[in-house]
């Protein structure tokens, strides 16, 4: 399939998802023009705030391919990803991302992620979500164990 056909599939998924009670977001992961996985936004349907189209599609592609490393694949998403999905796309090591609508389009229909981008730039103490370090001396032991582990799989 061409990149335009793959993007049209993501857009089609987003439109169908609206008709089926979901959010207006769809995504496709492909390798060499072949669809590996698709997904839609199922946040309200599954009561899962992480069930965005991109994350759902990454999970499905990783499961199908049996790897967390999706190098060699591309993602086509109906909208520019939110900060969570963008992070997941980077962690999945996708080669390229294509998107239809941009974050301003999303903001204009009530999906405004700008506050998250603003919060990320702040020091934790200055964010709206109260947070503090707790039991650091105990938590660091897992990191120390990881550092010493010879057979770890880096990701």
Is residue 54 within 8 A of residue 75, CB to CB? The reply is: yes
Tens of pLDDT, residue by residue over 9-37, are 999 999 999 999 999 999 999 999 999 99
Domains of the chain: 3-131 (3.40.140.10)
Other C-beta atoms closer than 10 Å to the C-beta of 77 total 28
Q: Alpha-carbon distance 41 to 12, whole Å?
A: 13
Q: What is the DSSP letter of 109?
A: T
Number of residues assigned to the chain? 155
Looking only at Cα atoms, what is the longest distance across the chain? 52
HEC assignment per residue over 60-109:
HHHHHHCCCCCCCCEEEEEECCCHHHHHHHHHHCCCEEEEEECHHHHHHC
Is residue 102 within 8 A of residue 114, CB to CB? The reply is: no
Q: Can 54 be counted among the known catalytic residues?
A: yes
Q: What is the DSSP letter of 126?
A: G
Query: Rounded to two decimals, what is the model's pTM?
Result: 0.92
Q: Which is the catalytic residue, given 54, 74, 138, 144?
A: 54
- Mean pLDDT (the chain, rounded): 96
Q: Alpha-carbon distance 134 to 124, whole Å?
A: 13
Tens of pLDDT, residue by residue over 48-74, are 999 999 999 999 999 999 999 999 999
Tell me if residue 37 falls in helix, strand or coil: strand
Q: What are the structure tokens assigned to 40, written together?
A: 């839609």
Q: What are the structure tokens assigned to 125, written together?
A: 């103490």
Is residue 74 within 8 A of residue 93, CB to CB? The reply is: no
């Amino acid at each position: 399939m061409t990149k335009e056909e793959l993007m049209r599939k993501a857009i089609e998924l987003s439109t169908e998802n609206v008709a089926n009670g979901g959010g207006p977001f769809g995504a496709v992961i492909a390798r060499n023009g072949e669809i590996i996985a698709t997904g839609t936004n199922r946040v309200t349907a599954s009561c899962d705030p992480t069930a965005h189209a991109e994350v759902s599609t990454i999970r499905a592609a990783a499961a199908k391919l049996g790897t967390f490393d999706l190098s060699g694949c591309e993602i086509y998403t109906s909208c520019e990803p939110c900060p969570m999905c963008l992070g997941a796309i980077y962690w999945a090591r996708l080669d390229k991302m294509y998107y239809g609508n941009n974050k301003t389009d999303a903001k204009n229909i009530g999906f405004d992620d700008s506050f998250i981008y603003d919060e990320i730039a702040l020091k934790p103490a200055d964010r709206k979500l109260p947070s503090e370090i707790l039991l650091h001396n105990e938590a660091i032991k897992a990191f120390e164990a990881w550092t010493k582990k010879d057979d770890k799989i880096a990701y």
